[in-house]
Structure 1
Amino acid sequence: MTLSSSDIEKTIQDTDDGIIFSIEVTTNSKNPGFPIGFNIWRNAFGIAVKASPIEGKANKDIIALIAETLKIQKNTVTIISGHTSTIKKVKISGISREDILTLFQKAERD
């Protein structure tokens, strides 16, 4: 799946200590992955996780999958809104807009 730079740029918000972006979550997936598309209307990256949305299991999987895909530490990834929704805002601390663009491009090549 190829994301364009403009897709990534549209959804990223800069903060003082990192970036924020939106994700659209599919739970109970047999094929977990991130990013698995881009919802242009919601400006959200798709993510699929194996866990069910019970007792925060899916949220834990989301954090782990984003960190694993982008090869960053889990403690830098935080869900800041939408904890019980399929649309969530995720913050990654310690990186810039340029960093996340590079990480997404590298993840696509791997």
Structure 2
Amino acid sequence: MCDITIHLLPNAKQSGIVSFAILQNDTIYIKMKVHAPPKKGKANKAMLTILAERLSLNKSSLKMLSKHSSPIKKIYIDKDCEEIIELFKRNNPVTL
């Protein structure tokens, strides 16, 4: 079970992961931009789509734990954090 913190930046020119870090308490922190506006859940849907694609997972395996209107998102994934980190290393152009 792995919790990920995402700082979501909507209305960006390009969508994608800007940065990725592993914090001291083994929390995964991601900064992500999405082209979608923060209206009617469009930015959240875009974020979950990008995250699922990067991790080669189904969107149904991702659960948003935080308020939908906050720019800081808490995402729960039913996989071990070490496995998630390895998936990011294999599937992302972001330097880890």
**Pair in the same fold by TM > 0.5:** yes
Higher helix residue share: 1
Deviations 1:44-101 (A, max 9, x none): 31011111010111111111110011111110011110310111101112x1122111
Distance 1:44 1:104 in 2: 12
Could you tell me which runs of 5 or more consecutive residues in structure 2 were left unpaired when the two chains were aligned.
none
The amino acid across from 1:77 in the alignment is L
Secondary structure of 2:16's aligned partner: coil
The amino acid across from 2:76 in the alignment is K
Distance 1:49 1:75 in 2: 19
Secondary structure of 2:92's aligned partner: helix
Distance 1:88 1:21 in 2: 8
Could you say what the CA RMSD is over the residues aligned between the two structures, in angstroms? 2.0
The answer as to whether partners of 2:54 and 2:92 remain within 8 angstroms in 1 is no
**Among 31, 37, 46, which residue is 2:19 paired with?**
37
The amino acid across from 2:9 in the alignment is T
Could you tell me which runs of 5 or more consecutive residues in structure 1 were left unpaired when the two chains were aligned.
1-17
Does 1 or 2 have the higher relative contact order (CA < 8 Å, sep 6+)? 2
Secondary structure of 2:50's aligned partner: helix
When the two structures are aligned, how many residues end up with a matched partner?
Answer: 89
Q: Which runs of 4+ in 1 moved over 3 A?
A: none
Per the normalisation by structure 2, the TM-score is 0.82
Map 1:60-99; keep pairs closer than 5 Å: 60-93=45-78, 95-99=79-83
Distance 2:93 2:69 in 1: 32
- Percent identity between matched residues is 31
